[in-house]
Copies of this chain bind each other. A is one copy, B any other.
């Protein structure tokens, strides 16, 4: 690890991440802007290339780049991506949504709308989201809570909200024409139920859902158990929502290097709640430490088991614990490598677990 990478400086790393700024990043010489960190040959990388340009006005084509020059160019693109991580982008999803209280009922307001979302630095794409963020705001309640969720549809097509994993009464299940009529453009609908079962769940569209969930109508719905002692005590509690549709390969609505690292101090316990809202499996691989799998779809496993690569299928949630024993910055990525790296560098489903 090169000494000029701020990720290597334990005294500044946490501050750096918290500030979410690129100001302290040591940008390699010749890389003035990082316009594209996703698989497209960046101007920065081109500038870093050793390929000589053809003189202006000269008719002969430039000689093809040497193998050495191509190798240098590839390395420069990879380095630029890593050095940019964690890159600042506009917008942050999965922010905890505080409820309003109405006579003992926790009330949440969700508005569906179309926004431009910055997936990676400079890469803005149309997204359909809840409350202007992707993933939608995190709803976090306790088993037995009474909740009311007001949904307003500002999209050009009808929608519905399904509480994936929650065993709600049938008429609150959010399936158009089976349990309710869809929520028309401009209309609103209210869901209300007593939170039935604990665990890591999701809410998302269940109408034209291959499109609507793919475009971003999704979020985490986490239910803490009635008895807090039923859950393991953890120091860091992270959600990692996987998606692979309209916005490419993303973790919590961002692609590398705009993904957010998970940061823990040595000795701490990290809980990660994987949720797959995409259409493909994603076997997430953690370097340097293993994961202990404790729950599937919000239900505790009969016995925890260990792995370093956890295959997460669409619709599944898996909860794991990681004991942060091994200091350093550890790659954490989908092991379908085409979801994580190209000749232009790492992209998509890559983040890091940083143990300080």
Contacts and interface: CB of A to CB of B under 8 A. Distances in A.
Interface of A: 1-2, 5, 7, 67-68, 70-71, 74-75, 78-79, 82-83, 156-158, 162, 164-165, 167-171, 173, 175-182, 184-185, 197, 206-211, 213-214, 279-281, 283, 285, 287-290, 296-299, 301-309, 311, 313-317, 326-331, 335-338, 340-343, 352
B158 A290 contact: no
A149 to B, nearest CB: 17
Contact of A297 (B78, B169, B307): B307
A328 B173 contact: yes
Contacts of A302: 303-305
Contact of A287 (B156, B175, B352): B175
A296 B285 contact: no
A336 B313 CA distance: 9
Given A1-B171, A283-B315, 14 more contacts: A1-B178, A7-B178, A70-B156, A70-B157, A74-B208, A82-B176, A82-B178, A179-B329, A208-B341, A208-B342, A281-B311, A283-B316, A298-B308, A309-B317
Contacts of A303: 302-303
Contacts of A207: 78
A-B CB proximity, top 6 nearest? A170-B328, A315-B335, A299-B306, A302-B303, A311-B313, A210-B337
Nearest to A327: B170
Nearest to A299: B306
A207 B5 CA distance: 18
25 contacts: A1-B170, A1-B180, A5-B177, A67-B157, A78-B207, A82-B178, A83-B177, A164-B308, A167-B288, A173-B288, A179-B328, A179-B329, A206-B331, A208-B343, A280-B336, A285-B315, A296-B306, A296-B307, A297-B308, A298-B308, A301-B305, A302-B303, A309-B316, A311-B311, A314-B336
Contacts of A165: 308
Contacts of A289: 167
Given A177-B78, A210-B341, A299 B290 contact: yes
Contacts of A83: 177
B308 A178 contact: no
A249 to B, nearest CB: 12
A124 to B, nearest CB: 22
A297 B285 CA distance: 10
A285 B162 CA distance: 12
Contacts of A78: 176-177, 182, 207-208
Given A177-B79, A211-B343, A185 B71 contact: yes
Contacts of A315: 283, 285, 308-309, 335
A181 B78 CA distance: 11
A250 to B, nearest CB: 16
A287 B197 CA distance: 13
Contacts of A177: 1-2, 5, 78-79, 82-83
